[in-house]
Amino acid sequence: MEPGAHDGAPHYRENNAGRQPRDMSPGSRTDAQREADRIAPVLRSLWKQGKWDPDSVRSALLALGYKEQRTGPKGEQLGGQLDVRSMEPRFKDDHYATPPGARIGLRVHQDACVTAFVQKTNYQVRVNGPYLESGCFEPPFAH
């Protein structure tokens, strides 16, 4: 069994390397947790109000003083640290559907993110290192 393999599959970590968050320094983890603690009550309030659409979530988080992340035409980072998106589409019945809700990625440092979501059933806020190809957002499964 490969160390770190969830189900004992050979090459699990190798095959899922892009889905593993990068390491955070202790100081970055502390800073990210501080931002997560600021965001959690806002998401709790939005969830209780039934406001989990990306525009409402983005507006509430921008009110905390974050700047929206901007990228150039070639994907280059132009500033800002907040990215709010719709939920990932999911296969339901015989087609893909995007459930109501919002995903949040907040880049705290180069090695630290706050990743969160809010939807009808619940909300969650956590800290993690960035993902190799998708920044603060966990990439979808490829296999």
Phi and psi based region of residue 8 (left: phi greater than 0; alpha: psi -120 to 50; beta: remaining): left
Looking at residue 142, its pLDDT comes to 52
- d(CA 95, CA 20) in angstroms, rounded, equals 28
| pLDDT per position as a tens digit, 36-76 | 999 999 999 999 999 999 999 999 999 999 999 888 888 77
* Dihedral sign (CA 90, 117, 54, 49): positive
CA distances from 23 to 16, 56, 69, 131 (A): 15, 31, 22, 10
Listed range (24-33, 49-58, 66-75, 133-142) with the worst mean pLDDT? 133-142
> Strands, E, within the chain: which ranges?
70-71, 77-79, 82-86, 90-92, 95-97, 102-109, 112-118, 123-128
- d(CA 89, CA 81) in angstroms, rounded, equals 24
| pLDDT per position as a tens digit, 79-110 | 889 999 999 888 878 888 888 999 999 999 99
Q: Which residues lie across from 112 on neighbouring strands?
A: 109
Alpha-helical segments (H) within 4-99: 12-15, 26-49, 54-62
| pLDDT per position as a tens digit, 50-61 | 999 999 999 999
